[in-house]
Structure 1
């Protein structure tokens, strides 16, 4: 019997990135098992994790709790997770393991090497990249370099990572897959009453609305937008922050202290993200590090202009001044200029949004599924 293990450090990585892969594998005749930490570390709400478990049960997917920590330096916890996954691999004799996230990638490949199991590893953006902190290169690069020898197929999702992996690493195969795939029809077919939606959010019809979608953490860098808003002194510019995370109270306090507390709306985890994109005018994405960001692709699908940091992943998707504006991640003055420019020019926003709707087509779920299916079909040959 063909049986495989989908492995990730947290449940949100299964929910957000791997449900299409799971269904594809089942169509190919695999019995799919899922292993991750369902109890902590997820960017999903507890309710969303319960929904994920329910969906997996409906698909007849067996799932297992693995006590992963997201911190690679917690070695005792890493060892515990390794032993848990090793026990599964020995019991179920998987045809292959598909692992995700740095911790999942370490554990999955060590277990694969120990049990002589084929391993696919998807790097959702290496922690080392052009401009990354030296500490990232000292910690993560040697680990990924070493473990690449235990990797049958290494999937990279942006061009910088792909070129580096091809030149520097020892994986049997390195593949470039442009992201996890976007259900374009799902986003483009949604029709909304913008005025009504804005009233629900407490926003005026004539306001310019910025939106960011992502975990509230240091990497997503939302504070640079809040600082830019404070300097602009434009109460007609409103900012929607969609997502949860450890920095919510810090960001809310910052907005209040800078005098823009009434302009920044913390919406938490939402099930109506597509409607929120279409309610907004400009997507802002000031991340310090990205792989190939799903949120940015979703915004592009909804046909809105984007202001994004000029980092790896974002630059795969945005051509400066063509379908968006690229800025320095940490210069609030760059965001001030970009926000004002787009807020004051509806025609430029419209043109950029139209280009986004065209560009995103090659990142569709249908295209990505074809590539992934071919990779899964060839795993035995690697």
Structure 2
């Protein structure tokens, strides 16, 4: 049987983002193997979803942080053994550091190698570290059959990296289930009531890991600056910044107004309850949670980045802040929307219209094309 290896930094990433790809590969007759750090709690991990698909799991000490040298060396040798033992036909690796280690460990394998970049964060910068990363990426592109990108800037940058063997494709992220993420005013009101949000309150939601990049602290500072008791803010997610965010919430006197709600796999129930969502990341490959919000008809306030520029039209389905640390601009936008909520209500149709362009069916169609193309290449290599 043909075998496909999917590699990611965190195990939860696979059950959160990769189930569609796994199903496509299974339909093509592949046995799927997943290698990741399943002890990494950044995403909720549901092993039953993989067991039902008869997926083989390897727990390796993978890390997304460039400085974790010991983890990288151990992961390199673990992946090398897995690739040799399983004799895989396709290797599909995700994000910058795990993908670099995966492609290095592949050696001279005849497997087709796919690299999905969830954001090239080094373009536009010129430090020594950045130059080294660019050099490594350029060298590894020679071992890569397909680079998949999720925004236009990364697509153009990937073309610069690509070698003669490399095809570059763009997909609209993993895609949104627009039949599940729908506007639902009645259920939204029910969720607000059960969540303790008073009638008439202005309710903001963010969803994402509690880490430095997602930058929830800027939203907390903006809400503190407004000092409006009618504003409530819920953050859905887990991560290393939880203690720091809890301390900030308490020190700004926002306990009960700003809450850390933990990770939820049913955000389609919560987004319709919000007046708006806020995603002021420092960098973003695309931002699936923001698209989920739009699909529910809820406008988004976000940092003006390569990823968010793919779908946010300022003043039409949301608002941009110019920089991730512009607290005053964010506070002004929130204040304007809270004062006149018709601004947001009038955006609902355009929000939903935008989201349909990122429907999961579009992503699945492109991924099928990519896997079929790499499948043909690996057949050619095997019988060469």
TM-score range, shorter chain: over 0.9
Matched with 1:67 is 61
Aligned-residue offset at 1:189: 7.3
Matching residue of 1:108: 102
Once the two structures are superposed, the pairs formed by residues 16-31 of structure 1 within 5 Å of their partners are 16-31=16-31
Q: What stretches of structure 2 of length at least 5 have no aligned partner?
A: 379-384
2:356 aligned residue:
361
Distance 1:168 1:313 in 2: 19
Summarize the alignment of residues 306-317 of structure 1 with structure 2, pairs less than 5 Å apart. 306-317=300-311
Query: Aligned with 1:186: secondary structure?
Result: coil
- Would you say the 8 A contact 1:178–1:363 is kept in 2? yes
Aligned twin of 1:5: 5
User: Paired residue for 1:146?
Assistant: 139
Matched, 1:343 2:338: yes
Aligned partner of residue 113 in structure 1, secondary structure: coil
Tell me how far apart the structure 2 counterparts of residues 56 and 175 of structure 1 sit (CA, whole Å).
27
Instruction: Give the TM-score of the pair, scaled to structure 1.
Output: 0.93
Structure 2 SS opposite 1:363:
coil
Q: How many residues align?
A: 375
Aligned equivalent of 1:180, options 162, 168, 174: 174
Matches within 5 A, 1:175-324: 175-188=169-182, 192-324=186-318
In 1: Cα distance, 2:67 partner to 2:242 partner: 25
Offset at residue 260 of structure 1 (A): 2.2
SS of alignment partner, residue 179 of structure 2:
helix
TM-fit CA distance, 1:108: 1.7
TM-score normalised according to structure 2 size: 0.93
Q: Is the 8 A contact 2:137 2:161 kept in 1?
A: no
Gaps of 5+ in 1: none
| 1:197-242 deviation per Cα after TM superposition (whole angstroms, max 9, x unaligned) | 2232221010000110001111111111111111111110110111
The alignment yields a C-alpha RMSD, in angstroms, of: 1.8
Aligned equivalents of 1:34, 1:203: Cα separation in 2: 41
Say if 1:369 and 1:194 are closer, same or farther in 2 by CA, change over 3 A. closer
Separation (CA, whole Å) in 2 of partners of 1:134 and 1:278: 43
Note the alpha carbon deviations across 1:150-193, whole angstroms, 9 max, x for none.
11100011111111111244361111112111111011276753
Correspondence for 1:79: 73
Q: Which residue of 2 aligns with 1:165?
A: 158
Deviation at 1:288, TM superposition (A): 0.4
Whether contact under 8 Å (2:185, 2:273) holds in the other structure is: no
Q: Deviations over 1:79-107 (max 9, x none)?
A: 21111111111112111100112222012
Distance 1:88 1:144 in 2: 23
Contact 2:183 2:296 in 1 (8 A): no
* Distance in 2 of aligned mates of 1:16 and 1:145: 29
Q: 1:349 Cα shift? A: 0.5
Residue 129 to residue 201, structure 1, CA distance change in 2 (3 Å): farther
In the alignment, the residues of structure 2 paired with residue 303 and residue 12 of structure 1 have an alpha-carbon distance, to the nearest angstrom, of 27
Per the alignment, residue 14 of structure 1 pairs with 14
CA distance in 1, matches of 2:123, 2:174: 20
